[in-house]
Chain A
Amino acid sequence: MTFDWQPVWLTLKLAGTTTLLLLILGTPIAWWLARTHAWYKQALSAVVALPLVLPPTVLGFYLLIMLAPDGPVGRLTQSLGIGTLPFTFEGLVFASMLYSLPFVVQPLQNAFEALGPRPAEVAATLRASPWDRFMTVVIPLARPGFLTASVLAFAHTVGEFGVVLMIGGNIPGETRVLSVAIYDYVETLEYDQAHLLAAGMLAFSFLVLMTLYLVNGRISRSHQP
């Protein structure tokens, strides 16, 4: 029996890319949500949280429509010369970002809210510009939040299935990630392969969560005054 590693690498690549991009996108959203008193804050929070409650197929369906050649986003990507996104790796990244957005924004928002405005104010009185104080004070102090956000986004992307199936399909090396591969093996009654991947996922997920709890536990202890 030869083991096909391709879905594993593809999954890790997808989860890594998604996590990185989400941290860049999610940090300003979370910072804004944690600081603002705007009346539409609640509405935006709800939009960010939508992927938590929507069935992945619903999200995937709308994405498919939007990203399709005659959909609004599809037209934009074509005019930018990127082509269309469905059934490509880039399309999967885009979909995964939407799907995992709340897993990044919520821990970061909680971390920023717990931090309060004081540390940044102190840094400001010590001559730090807004960007400077964010990088040197807010991010280091919100580290547990960033760690939680990264791990959750990564693990959640690894575990996605419905959205991938809708928007990515099952193209080896391009969109055939772990969860889809397992589904495939089961369909074709290749239980040995399915077992391997499934057990690997189980062990991986457990290890990730355990590491997260251990590290966060240590950080919060070392920051106790």
Chain B
Amino acid sequence: MSRIEVRLKHRLGDFDLDVAFDAPGQGVTALFGRSGSGKTSVLRAVAGLERTGQGLVRINGEVWQDEKRFLPIHHRPIGYVFQEASLFPHLSVRKNLEYGLRRVPERQRRIPFHDVVELLGISTLLTRATPRLSGGERQRVAIARALLTSPRLLLMDEPLSALDHAAKQTIMPYLERLHDEFAIPSLYVSHDPNEVARLADHMVVLEEGRVAAEGEAAPLLTRLDLPLSTYDDASALLEGFVSSHDHSYHLTWISLQGNRVAVPREDLPVGRHARVQIQARDVSLSIRAHADTSILNILPARVIDTRDISPTQVLVRLELEDGQTLLSRITRRSAIGMGVHEGMQLYAQVKSVALLS
């Protein structure tokens, strides 16, 4: 039985944490919420860093905490990546990496030192003093250090939030590769829908210490009753596969069962699974399918529901022909002018599509 089961009840001052969720024992589960929603508290409780009065933490059938038992942190097979890299400043990069590794019995080591160092691209940093690393380098070392304990559960507390945009962009591919190569089930705390879109398979949405929703990541990202859709960079995730390459115009077509969208050319084999992200602000609506437009990606869609997100803007949730959902953010003036209503057939004009994986 491969599951992450978490039930926590905890009062901290006037903050009341009461969460219960089950996550799959594989892949990445995002704990998503605004600051103060309790996501870090949940992660700390799963790690054993916080002792909650009542709780159950059971990982793949193994009880880490229940009414009778509380497994101390250093006996839990976790890897924890903190928000700031928290490398030990008195140790070199190599010694930092070996700190956890040396404390794991040899027969429990499943992840070779060399592989981790290679994957995170830190082989040239090994002899460096930790205070001399850049923010991105530090976080890569911290991730490697956690991985080297061969954890059975990886806990990440907004590992990218302390980094600037450029550093984030360089680390993201490492995180994606990490999940592909080591297949360690992970809980990933984030308040950034983009990170969730790129990394998560499953999602638990937290609001004020409660679970607001949980399930597969893609449908939750577009639900209008959840806070994610109101974010400025709200987006939808679509699953498809690489259908063909357009050599003359340098495009790659991604098939979405019946429809297709174009992305800038990527060197990927035809037939490979592809996940694309489409921002709500990049989708405009039209009643007829226009041929006289510069926009390449035009998808027939049906309106599921709408929500006013500001006095000027409306968010429209659309269902594509294959059942996947798309978000569109348009002005309220246009929505009323076009008479947008539930069940209405429209064409979504997608200005830009990002290929995630």
Contacts and interface: CB of A to CB of B under 8 A. Distances in A.
Contacts of A136: 99
A127 B88 contact: no
Contacts of B74: 124-125, 127-130, 132-133
B100 A127 contact: yes
A126 B149 contact: yes
A37 interface: no
Given A129-B74, A223-B131, A225-B131, A124 B49 contact: yes
Contact of B73 (A124, A141, A222, A224): A124
Contacts of A223: 89-90, 131
Interface string A192-225: 0000000000000000000000000000001111
A49 interface: no
A122 B100 CA distance: 10
A224 to B, nearest CB: 7
Nearest to B47: A125
A179 to B, nearest CB: 38
Contact of B49 (A121, A127, A143): A121
A126 B47 contact: no
Interface centre among A122, A137, A223 (most CB of B within 10 A): A122
A224 B131 contact: yes
Nearest to B151: A125
Contacts of A124: 48-49, 73-74
Contacts of B86: 118-119, 122
A126 B49 contact: no
B175 interface: no
Interface string A58-89: 00000000000000000000000000000000
A29 interface: no
Contacts of A130: 74
B65 to A, nearest CB: 15
B301 interface: no
Interface string B69-103: 00001110011101000101110000000011001
A140 B49 CA distance: 22
A122 B73 contact: no
A225 to B, nearest CB: 5
A133 B80 CA distance: 16
A122 B103 contact: no
Given A137-B88, A223-B90, A126 B103 contact: yes
Nearest to A137: B88
A127 B104 contact: yes
B70 to A, nearest CB: 14
A126 B99 contact: yes
Contacts of B99: 123, 126, 128, 136
Contacts of B75: 127
A132 B131 CA distance: 23
B145 interface: yes
Nearest to A122: B86
Given A223-B131, A225-B131, A125 B88 contact: no
B256 interface: no
Contacts of B82: 118, 121-122
Interface in B102-134: 103-104, 131
Contacts of B79: 125
Nearest to B90: A140
Contacts of A224: 131
Nearest to B87: A122
B146 interface: yes
Contacts of A128: 74, 99, 103
Interface in B174-207: none
Interface in A150-197: none
Interface centre among B74, B79, B146, B149 (most CB of A within 10 A): B74
A133 B88 CA distance: 11
Interface string B37-49: 0000000000111
A123 B131 CA distance: 18
Interface in A76-120: 118-119
B73 A125 contact: yes
Contacts of B149: 126-127
A119 B47 contact: no
6 contacts: A125-B78, A127-B75, A129-B74, A133-B74, A223-B131, A225-B131
Interface of B: 47-49, 73-75, 78-80, 82, 86, 88-90, 99-100, 103-104, 131, 145-146, 149
Interface of A: 118-119, 121-130, 132-133, 136-137, 140-141, 143, 222-225
Given A126-B103, A129-B74, A222-B131, 4 more contacts: A122-B88, A125-B73, A125-B80, A223-B89
